Chains A and B, each alone.
Chain A
Amino acid sequence: MSGVVHTSTAELFLVGQDASNMMGNPAGVCYPTSTAEVQEAVRWARSKGMAFIARGAGTGLAGGAIPTAGSLVICLTKMNNIRSVDVHRRAAWVEPGVLNADLSRHTSRHGLHFAPDPSSQQSCTIGGNVANNSGGPHCLSEGVTSAHILALEVVLPSGEVCILDAENSLFDLRGAFIGSEGMFGIATAIEVRLVQNPPHVSTMVVGFASVHEGAMAVSAIIASGIIPSALEMMDAPITRAVEEYVHAGFPLDAAAMLIVEIDGLEHSVSDGTRQVKDIVLRFGATSFKVAQSAAERALIWKGRKTAFGAIARIQPNYYLHDTVVPRKKLAEVLSQVSAIATEEQLQVMNVFHAGDGNLHPILMFDKRVEGVMDRVHRAGSEIVRVSLEAGGVLSGEHGIGLEKRDFMRWMFTENDLLFQQKLRAAFDPEGISNPHKVLPRGSGCADASSIPPGSWM
C-alpha cells in the first residue's frame, strides 16, 4: 500500500482537514514507511511541480496541516517505530509518526518519559510536535519541545537528507527547524531527550470564587520561588463540561479552578504542597484538594487534557485561540475576552496554562447558524489584538499555520518577516514545502500554487 499515491475523493477529503475549522483540496496522499520513500515522494512531487505537505495525526488547531490545492500530502503515520532507546544517555531515536503518549509509555519501564505533554498527546505525533514546537502543562518546568530534541534527520525540499544536530555540523540548525511548521522539509527521524519520572508528585485542585483571585494566586505562587511542574487554570463553564465526562471531583461551585502540580524529592514535595496551600488560602481559595493516588491524579489530568473535546457537550463547534500574555495581565485580558464574546453574542470558555500566561479562550458556536462565522472571526481577531496590546505574543504552542498567518504583521515588522522569509528560502528556495503558511502574503514570499479554499484569514 505504501509508496503509492492514493487519489480517491474520500481519502483526499479527509486528509484535507485537521482539527481546525479549515479545509484544503490536495491532489494525492501517500504513506511512506521509510526515509527513502519520503525522499522518493518529495522528488516525485517536485518533478511534477507540485507542492507537498507533511501530515502527522492531523490534530493541529491552526490549520498547519491543511494542504494547498493540488498538493501531495505525505502522511507519516506509518513511520511509527521507536528505533532505539539509550537509557544511559537518556535519549531515543524515533520515527516521526510515533505518538507522543506511546513514546512515554514505551520508556516508562526505564523510569523515563518525553517531557512535552500536549493535551492531545495520546493522538499527536512527535513529528507534529517538532514542527509546531508544541507545549503542554508540564512544559512549565521542563520547557517546550525545542528543549527536548537532540538531533533531527530531515528530508529537504530538494530531496536530499541531512542531519541537524549540535555536534556534527557547522551550525546548529535544530532551532530553525523546530517550529517551522513543515515549511523547511520533513523530519524523518528524531532523537529526543528523555527525562526521569519524578520520584514524588503532588497534584492539587484548588477552587476560587473569581477568575481574578485565581490569577492573583498564580502570580503569587510563581513569585514565591516555587517552580510547580504544572500550573493550569479552568473557568467554571469548562470545569462543569469536563466534570460531566470524567468525574474527577472538580469543584463545581468555583468560578475558577487551578491544577497545581509539584514534583521532586519527598520532603520538597510536601514542603511545596504546604506552601502552595498557604498561598492559595491567602488569596481566597474556596476549596483545596490533593490527589491521594496515582489513579486520582490520572483522572485530574484526563479532565484537563480532554477539556477541548468536552465542549461539544455544549455547542457543536469551537474555535480555540492560543495567545500568550504577561502573567500579571492575566486577569485583565480575561475580562476583556469575556467582554468581546458578549459583544459578539458568543459563549466563551477559558482553559489555559496559567503558569506561563498561555491563554486558550474557546469560542463556542453552531456553524449552521447564519452569519455566526463572521462573528467568530471578528471575536477571534479582537482576542488576538487585546493579547498583543497587553504585551503578549501570537501563539503559545499551536503554531501560526494558516489561521494566524495574516496576524503576523501585527507583531513583526516588514524587516522581521523578510528575514524569516530568507531563512525559509534557504531551506526551500522553490517554496514547495507546505506553502502559504505562517508567512503572510506579500512578505517577499514566492510560494507555489494557490491558497487553499476555505482558508478564511
Chain B
Amino acid sequence: MNKTQGIFQLVNEEDLNTCVNCGLCLPHCPTYRVTGEDIYSPRGRINLIRSVKHGDLELTKEIVQALDTCIQCMGCEPACPSGVQYHSIISPVKAEMHSGWRWRDAPLRCGLYVVTHMRCLRLFTRVISIAQKLKIVPKQISVPKIDFPRPRFNKKPQVRSGKEVLLFTGCVMDAWYRNIHLDTITLLEALGYSVKISGDEYGCCGALHEHAGFNKSALKMQRKMQQSESVSTIVVNSAGCSASLKNALAGSRVVLDINELLYRHITDLQHLLVRRNETVLIQEPCHLRHVQGISKEVKELLEISFTVTQMEDDGLCCGAGGSFSFSQPAMATAVRGRKLDEVNRVIISVAPETISFIASANPGCLSFLAGGKIDVAIVHPVTLLAQSLSSLNAIGVI
C-alpha cells in the first residue's frame, strides 16, 4: 500500500530510524506539554513523517496540522538520548509543505515580505506606533511599545583602534529594538571593540523565513550576507538570528552571539559592572539554549550585577517561535500560558516585590512575552548589563 509516494523523500532515512519511540522527549516539547496528545509530540511527529514517507499513512489534514504546530524550538533535540537530529527531519518537511501555495500562508507570506523590505518595515512600524497610541493594535501582532522617532546610531564608531566587529542589526531588531543595539555598542566599546553597523544594506538574515519553511527566500538573503565584503567577526544580539547566521556563514565568517562574546570578557566585565540590589529572572530563548547550547553564559554574566533566579521548566519554549505566534496563534498562546504560569510561580516563590526584570535575549520572546500580561519589565540582558556599567572605568572609551 503506497498512498503518498514521493512525499518527504528528502528526509534522511537514518535520521528517522534513530528514533526508538521511547518517549523521553515528550515533556520537553511545549506543544505536547499543553495538549497531552501524542500527535503534538516529537515522537508522534517523527512517527508520522516516517509513515507518510513510507506510504503507510496519507498526508491528511490532521498530519499537516501536527507538523504546522511544531514550533521548531528544538527542545526535543538535546533531550533525546538516541541523538535524533530532529532539525534535519523537520526542516525539509516544513520546506516541502511550504513549497507550493497555500491560502492560509498568505498573511504569513505578507508579514515575511514586510520584514525583508526595510522601507516597508519602517512604514509598518510607523503605522503600528500610531495604532499603539490609539490602542487599536490587533492581538495577533505582538509588537513591543515602539519609540518614535527611533534613536539614532552614532555616525562614526567611538572606538577606532580596537578589534573590529560588525554588529548585525537585522530587520525587526533594528526597527523595534534599536535601543538594544545601542546598549550592545556601549558594552562592546567599553570592552575596547571598534563596532561597525551592518545596517539596511544587509537587512534581514532570513532566519524567520527559514524557520517558517520558506527556504528559497532564506537562501536569497543568506547569499547576500555571504557575498558581502564585511568584517570577519559578526556579532548578533538576537538569538534566532545568531543561530541561523552561524549556520549560513559557517566557514566564511565568525558569527558570535553577543552573550558568547561578552562571556569571553567576563573577568573584564567583573571590573566594569557595578553591583545592583535587584533580582533578574532569566527566560532562555530556545535558539540560545537548545540550538546553540548557550545557557550558563547569560546567567554568569548577569550574576556580576544581579541576583539571578531561573525557571524550573528545562527551558521550555514561550511559544513565540519566529513567526509561529503569528501563524499558529492558538497553540502559541497556550504555550505562552504555560510559560506565564511558570513565571508567576517563580515570582511568588521568590516574593513578588523582589523580581525587578525578566531577561530574554531574543526579540521574538521579548515581544511575545510582553503581550502576555506580566507585571515585571521584560528586557534584553544586554540592556541590563549596559545599564550596570560604571561609567568611570571603561577600558576602551577614548
Contact = CB atoms under 8 A, between A and B. Distances in A.
Interface in A84-106: 97, 99, 101-102, 105
Interface string A1-31: 0000000111101110111000000000001
Contacts of A318: 20
28 contacts: A9-B58, A10-B48, A10-B63, A13-B48, A13-B57, A17-B21, A18-B21, A19-B23, A31-B36, A58-B38, A77-B37, A80-B36, A97-B36, A101-B27, A102-B27, A109-B349, A120-B22, A120-B24, A122-B24, A123-B24, A245-B81, A309-B80, A311-B20, A312-B17, A313-B18, A313-B82, A317-B20, A318-B20
B27 A19 contact: no
Interface in A305-320: 306-313, 316-318
A398 to B, nearest CB: 13
Given A77-B37, A122-B24, 6 more contacts: A13-B48, A14-B48, A123-B24, A245-B83, A312-B19, A318-B20
B62 interface: yes
A11 B20 contact: no
A122 to B, nearest CB: 5
A309 B22 contact: yes
A307 to B, nearest CB: 8
A284 to B, nearest CB: 30
B312 interface: yes
A75 B36 contact: yes
Contacts of A366: 17
B26 interface: yes
Contacts of A242: 81
B84 interface: yes
Give 5 nearest A-B pairs by CB, closest first: A77-B36, A309-B81, A312-B82, A306-B81, A14-B38
Interface residues of A, number: 42
A42 to B, nearest CB: 19
B58 A310 contact: no
Interface of B: 17-27, 35-39, 44, 47-48, 51, 57-58, 60, 62-63, 66, 80-84, 312, 349
A240 interface: no
Contacts, number: 107
B141 to A, nearest CB: 26
A57 interface: yes
Contacts of B18: 312-313, 316
Contact of B22 (A31, A59, A97): A59
Contacts of B312: 105
A101 B82 CA distance: 20
Nearest to B20: A312
B94 to A, nearest CB: 17
B295 to A, nearest CB: 13
A245 B60 CA distance: 36
B39 A99 contact: no
A19 B82 contact: no
Given A77-B36, A245-B83, A13 B51 contact: yes
Residue from B22, B37, B60, B63 whose CB has the most chain A CB atoms within 10 Å: B22
B17 A316 contact: yes
Interface in A284-317: 306-313, 316-317
A78 interface: yes
Highest count of chain A CB atoms <10 Å: which of B51, B58, B80, B82: B82
B27 A78 contact: no
Contacts of B349: 109
